[in-house]
């Protein structure tokens, strides 16, 4: 099967998965072109400087998928299929229903290139030419240690994201609420906090209103006692500090932990306990200093509004992605996850000099 | 401090001490409300937190989160009258909390009366902890030091003690002994003992306390107690777990495996549903809220972050459940920043 044929099948299957965004055959071929130089690089030798070259995909890719966002799992499988590889997907014990549904929706020619299991057998590890691992530092270290020198290893570690609002609070608030609520904040593209250029406190009040609205049409998932307790503690601490006259304010859902907004007049990045707990801080003059504690873990910054000047201001903060607020959870197919190219690290090249 | 305030505090302190000693002229309910009103009047940060909350029953007394001790000096007396300050370990990146005392009379009485209620024999104590002198701000060392009134003590500083010396001291004991320390200190001791097994004289017991926060270790209580058996020959019934914290002046105890923690008559524990802030339904997991009369000089009601299930007057302690924390590529605060 050629890359173009595969792209046709994948575009058709993806239509039933709005989670992936709108993906056309052309989008998929653009991804191949961006990463490998030509849409047919995997099928035929293509001009490459003074010679010709062909990309060789791994025969088998082992994807180690984490449970927090279905999106990352679907994307990595999609890429593996696009490369023409056989895909072994190790999913969490808690399951990955979206991935199973996607595999089931594939035409048989592609479906037989996917195996999904929550158990990892040694055969999979031995068999794989490449490993793509999502997870925390321990998971990544674990699989890195199991990888042979001849196997390709691509890691996606844990990341944190945030947003910056420079103006137009009314427009920004619903977009911010969407980014902070989707996937219950479990993904690496979920914002932990928003920095606001002017009058952060009044933005926090608007955001609270929008978090409530989002909760009404898309209620947060049920939490375990430990996660609920973490939210209760964050809220009680904010309430205590506010009572002491500190510049802290708290907005929260009633009789539940469904959503929480905390305004705090401080600047250093504060990671959230997640599950729709979001802080609003004033934008500091020295943003890189405020981000220093998490610099090595930064992923996306969502901005509002989008201007060249704002993009230039945020380009050197250590993030690997800048996007409009409201779109934080929807990276394009061609995005460089964690600053890496999607397909290029997985292939090797065969040169032909005539 | 004005004479009137001091007199009010001493009168309450005397009443609580009498209650600890078994005098029931005043009930827990009555004393709890008196302590609360005293604190509302003299502890400004706590009063600000309580606002105009109307309190008719000890259950309604507003509980401060443990973190409050990091953000305000929660005391009912002027700072210059502080005689003792205990500090929390401060592993979450927000700095440490402080619990101030004008006197440790109530604290010490709580430690000894609570301990005596366990009905343990007076034994020579081997303590795996820093001495109170070495760690003047550790409430745990202070508690161990106070228990010195119930047996001669020898201390072995964790991380630094000579394993051979402790092993020899234990092996030479002809009389039963008491071993006191944190769970982590015991684990380190067992690790360093290796396969060697010391057999403590019959009637010996151990008291372990504390979790594994920030240590990177996580073992079940059953596994920990199995190691007490392997290394010291102690059966679970001879091991006592103490549940306490810097923010609290009294202790809860349980013996062996499977029994709930129980506190002395001057404390109460509620299990709260963190979703709603109200009592958890019976049998359900919630967060522990403690009411401790011995916290007279600070705040009577503390909202802990420990998970528990209510069990009669006591509770089954689950601690912080690491398996319930969010997994995957986005991580919550302490985990991310601890790396």
ipTM attached to this prediction: 0.91
Pairing of strands A60-64, A130-134: parallel
CB contact under 8 A, B276 and A256: yes
Q: Mind telling me how many Å the CA of B38 is from chain A's nearest CA?
A: 19
CB neighbours (10 Å) of residue B56?
7
CB contacts < 8 A, A to B, total 141
DSSP per-residue letters across A121-179 = -HHHHHH-SEEEEES-HHHHHHHHHH--TTSEEEEE---EEEEEE-S-HHHHHHHHHHH
What does DSSP assign to residue B318?
E
CB contact under 8 A, A271 and B337: yes
Provide the pLDDT for residue A95.
87
Closest residue of B to A162, CA-based?
B330
Closest CB from B65, B332, B336 relative to A294: B336
A246 and B71: CB-CB below 8 Å? yes
Judging contacts by C-beta atoms under 8 Å, the chain A residues touching residue B48 are 243-245
In contact, A155 and A144? CB cutoff 8 Å: yes
Return phi, psi of residue A263, to 5°: -90, 140
Asked if A256 lies within 8 A of B339 by C-beta distance, the reply is: no
Our CA-based measurement puts residue A294 at a distance from the nearest CA of chain B, in whole angstroms, of: 8
Provide the pLDDT for residue B213.
Answer: 58
Contact B325 A226 (CB under 8 A): yes
Q: Do A230 and B337 touch (CB under 8 A)?
A: no
Smallest CA–CA separation between A242 and chain B, in Å? 8
Say whether residue A242 is in contact with chain B using an 8 A CB cutoff: no
CB spacing of A274 vs B326 below 8 angstroms: yes
What pLDDT, on the 0 to 100 scale, is given for residue B207? 96
Sign of the C-alpha dihedral computed for residues A327, A329, A332 and A337 taken in this order:
positive
- Tens-level pLDDT at each residue, chain B (339 residues): 567 778 889 999 999 999 999 999 999 999 999 999 999 999 999 999 999 888 999 999 999 999 999 999 999 999 999 999 999 876 545 678 999 999 999 999 999 999 999 999 899 999 999 999 999 999 999 999 999 999 999 999 887 888 999 999 999 999 999 999 999 899 999 999 999 999 899 999 999 997 665 555 668 899 999 999 999 999 999 999 999 999 999 999 999 998 999 999 999 999 999 999 999 999 999 999 999 999 999 999 999 989 999 998 899 998 765 443 333 333 333 333 332
A252 contacts B304 by C-beta, under 8 angstroms: no
Distance from CA of B16 to the nearest CA of A (A): 27
CB contact A233 to B (< 8 Å): yes
Per-residue model confidence as pLDDT tens digits over A109-135: 999 999 999 999 899 999 999 999 998
* DSSP conformational letter for A267: -
Residues of chain A with pLDDT under 50: none
How many angstroms away from the CA of A39 is the closest CA of chain B? 31
């Amino acid at each position: 099967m050629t890359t173009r044929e595969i792209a046709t099948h994948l575009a058709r299957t993806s239509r039933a998965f709005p989670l992936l965004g709108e993906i056309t055959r052309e989008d998929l071929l653009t991804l191949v072109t961006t990463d490998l130089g030509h849409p047919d690089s995997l099928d035929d030798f293509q001009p490459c400087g003074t010679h010709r070259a062909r990309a060789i995909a791994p025969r088998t890719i082992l994807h180690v998928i984490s449970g927090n966002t279905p999106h990352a799992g679907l994307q990595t499988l999609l890429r593996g299929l696009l490369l023409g590889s056989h895909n072994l997907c190790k999913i969490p014990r808690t399951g990955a229903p979206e991935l199973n549904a996607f595999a089931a929706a594939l035409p048989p020619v592609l479906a037989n290139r996917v195996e999904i299991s929550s158990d990892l057998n040694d055969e999979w590890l031995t068999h794989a030419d490449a490993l793509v691992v999502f997870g925390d530092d321990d998971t990544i270290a674990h699989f890195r240690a199991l990888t042979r020198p001849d196997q390709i290893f691509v890691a996606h570690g844990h990341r944190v994201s945030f947003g910056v609002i420079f103006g137009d609070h009314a427009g920004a608030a619903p977009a911010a609420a969407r980014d902070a609520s989707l996937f219950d904040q479990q993904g690496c593209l979920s914002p932990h906090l928003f920095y606001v250029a002017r009058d952060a406190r009044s933005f926090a009040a608007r955001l609270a209103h929008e978090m409530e609205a989002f909760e009404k049409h898309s209620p947060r998932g049920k939490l375990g006692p430990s996660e609920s307790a973490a939210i209760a503690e964050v809220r009680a601490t904010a309430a205590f500090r506010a009572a002491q006259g500190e510049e802290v304010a708290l907005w929260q859902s009633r009789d539940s932990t469904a959503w929480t907004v905390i305004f705090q007049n401080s600047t250093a990045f504060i990671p959230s306990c997640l599950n729709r707990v979001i802080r609003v801080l004033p934008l500091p003059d020295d943003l890189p200093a405020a981000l220093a504690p998490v610099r090595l873990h930064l992923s996306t910054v969502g901005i509002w509004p989008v201007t060249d000047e704002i993009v230039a201001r945020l380009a050197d903060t250590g993030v690997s992605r800048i996007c409009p607020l409201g779109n934080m959870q929807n990276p394009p197919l061609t995005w460089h996850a964690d600053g890496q190219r999607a397909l290029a690290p997985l292939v090797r090249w065969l040169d032909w000099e005539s | 401090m004005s004479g009137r305030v001091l007199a009010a505090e001493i009168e309450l302190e005397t009443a609580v001490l009498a209650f600890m000693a078994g005098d029931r002229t005043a009930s827990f309910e009555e004393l709890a409300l008196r302590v609360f009103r005293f604190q509302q009047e003299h502890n400004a940060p706590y009063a600000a937190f309580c606002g105009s909350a109307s309190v008719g029953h000890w259950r309604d007394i507003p509980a401060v989160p443990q973190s409050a001790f990091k953000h305000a000096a929660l005391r009912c007396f002027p700072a210059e009258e502080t005689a003792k300050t205990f500090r929390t370990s401060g592993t979450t990146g927000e700095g440490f909390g402080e619990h101030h005392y004008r006197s440790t009379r109530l604290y010490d009485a709580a430690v000894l009366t609570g301990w005596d209620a366990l009905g343990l024999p007076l034994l020579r104590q081997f303590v795996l902890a820093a001495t109170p002198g070495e760690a003047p701000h550790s409430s745990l060392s202070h508690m161990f030091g106070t228990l010195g009134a119930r047996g001669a003590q020898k201390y072995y500083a964790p991380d630094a003690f000579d394993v051979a010396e402790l092993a020899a001291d234990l092996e030479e004991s002809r009389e039963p002994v008491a071993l006191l320390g944190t769970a982590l200190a015991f684990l380190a001791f067992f690790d360093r003992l290796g396969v060697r097994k010391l057999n403590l004289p019959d009637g010996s017991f151990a008291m372990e306390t504390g979790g594994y926060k920030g240590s990177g270790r996580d073992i079940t209580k059953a596994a920990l107690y199995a190691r007490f058996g392997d290394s010291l020959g102690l059966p679970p019934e001879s091991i006592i777990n103490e549940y306490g914290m810097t923010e609290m002046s009294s202790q809860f105890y349980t013996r062996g495996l499977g029994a709930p923690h129980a506190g002395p008559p001057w404390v109460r524990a509620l299990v709260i549903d963190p979703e709603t802030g109200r009592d958890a339904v019976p049998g359900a997991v919630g967060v522990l809220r403690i009411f401790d009369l011995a916290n007279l000089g600070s705040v009577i009601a503390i909202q802990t972050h420990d998970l528990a299930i209510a069990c009669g007057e006591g509770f089954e302690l689950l601690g912080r459940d690491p398996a319930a924390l969010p997994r995957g590529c986005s991580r919550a605060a302490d985990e991310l920043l601890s790396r």
